[in-house]
Amino acid sequence: MGLLEWLPFYRNKSPASSLEFDIDDLFIDFQKAYLKTLAIDKSAEFVARIFSKAEFLFLKNGEVSDNSWSYLLNVKPNKDDVAARFWQKVIYRLIVHNEVLLVLSDDNQLLIADSYTRREYALYDDVFESVVVKDYQFKRSFKREDVIFIEYNNQRLTGYLNQLSEDYQTLYDRLVEAIARNNQIRGTLKIKGASQFANDYMEKLKSYSERLFNAFKHKSIAIVPMIDQVEYSEFTNKLSGSSVSVEDLKKLKYQFEDDVADLIGIPSVMLHGEIAGIEEARKSFTIDCLKPLTKKVSDELTVGLIDEREYKNGLRLEIIKVVDRDILDLSSNIDKIVSSGAFFVNEVRREVGYTPIKDGNVIIRTKNYEVASNQNEKGEINVSNTD
């Protein structure tokens, strides 16, 4: 198509302003996709760092029991990771990918699968095939009962991540379009007195414009003769900067961070390090995020590491020290709970994140607490000396 045939378009719309609009849109699309990614990464890392402090206990009838899994879970899961770094990776992947697969290698290393194929069955164990860890692919498949497979099941976050994928696809499409337009030659030909020219002379001008365009298109150095009646103007690469301000990007960044934090259950006060309302925010974070997450991990580990016979014989798995609690601030409440005899000592210790102790499965009650059935007919308390 000849360059003259584009003249009506360029009379109505400036090529430079059109390209400027495309670049601004492209910049905004990129910033949105990038800021969403940062927001997801920030929230996932926030939760993962807190969970990395977890300790895993095996209890037999309420007392700490030695177990071959204790070293893998609490010290060194594999040759490349210590426990804290390993569990931080597990929780991060669980939140971002909505699931995580852990497999045990033949040399007893607990590994995080980078990719796998899951075959689901209604009446039989699901099977995991093509399991890849880093650059190694297992040749064998794994049954569901032989792995630890944790699912996050946060559908709202999954929808947000799917939208992020669409944002990146939009960004890619616009980037390709912008690159194509950026490499285009844009120009106009202004013909003086065009209405007075005969048809044969207009054909010559059209032929001249074709040669002019081809010279610019195919030659790295193009020198062309100019004639008095024709004036050529080029708009290529005449771009201006984006109109998006730093403050706008900062507000957009905070908006995305707050959106993702709300989907995961993190109060924005904690995420941004604010002081006001931090205590209530911590309680909310513990109830809405940490406890459900810890329960998911605990249930999956229990199913994968403790068989039915061991469970019936009193073997349990507990996760402690995920939530930091100041026992000095809780000392008054601890004293009331223990001295009232409402709970075993070890139950209270586990609740505040400490391991059970020997002979801690006892009830302690002060002398001023008595059972209501000890009243006599006059309503007086019969106090018996049990010392």
Q: What pLDDT, on a 0 to 100 scale, did the predictor assign at position 58?
A: 93
Q: Is residue 366 included in any domain, yes or no?
A: yes
| Boundary of a domain, candidates 203, 234, 265 | 234
> Does a structural domain hold residue 387?
yes
Amino acid identity of 309? R
Whether residue 31 is found in the same domain as residue 80: yes
Predicted local confidence at residue 198, as pLDDT: 64
Contact 188/14 with Cβ under 8 angstroms? no
Q: What is the pLDDT of residue 143?
A: 95
What pLDDT does 136 receive?
94
pLDDT at res. 15: 42
From 289, 308, 324, the end of a domain falls on: 324
Q: How far apart are CA 258 and CA 250, in angstroms?
A: 12
Q: What is the pLDDT of residue 6?
A: 32
Give the integer Cα–Cα distance in Å for 384 and 387. Answer: 9
**CA dist., res. 67 & res. 363, Å (int):** 27
CA neighbours closer than 13 Å in the CB half-sphere of residue 137: 6
Tell me the residue range of the domain where 215 lies. Answer: 187-234
190, 235 contact by CB (below 8 A): no
Mark whether 316 and 337 lie in a shared domain.
Answer: no
Statement to judge: residues 74 and 173 lie in one domain: yes
Q: Are residues 287 and 382 in the same domain?
A: no
Provide the residue-wise pLDDT of the chain in tens; the chain has 387 residues: 433 333 333 333 344 444 444 555 555 556 666 777 888 899 999 999 999 999 999 988 878 888 889 999 999 999 999 999 999 999 999 999 999 999 999 999 999 999 999 999 999 999 999 999 999 999 999 999 999 999 998 888 888 877 766 665 565 566 556 656 555 566 666 666 655 556 676 677 777 777 776 766 666 555 556 666 666 666 555 544 444 456 766 777 788 888 889 999 999 889 888 888 888 998 899 999 999 999 999 999 999 999 999 999 999 999 988 887 777 777 788 777 777 777 888 888 877 777 777 777 778 777 665 554 554 554 444 545 444
Domains contained in the chain, number: 3
Query: What pLDDT is stored for residue 279 in this prediction?
Result: 85
Give the whole-angstrom CA distance, residue 30 versus residue 27: 5
Three-state SS string over 174-227 comes to HHHHHHHHHCCCCEEEEECCHHHCCHHHHHHHHHHHHHHHHHHHHCCCCCCCCC
For residue 139, is it within any domain? no
104 to 13, 51, 133: CA distances (angstroms):
64, 21, 11
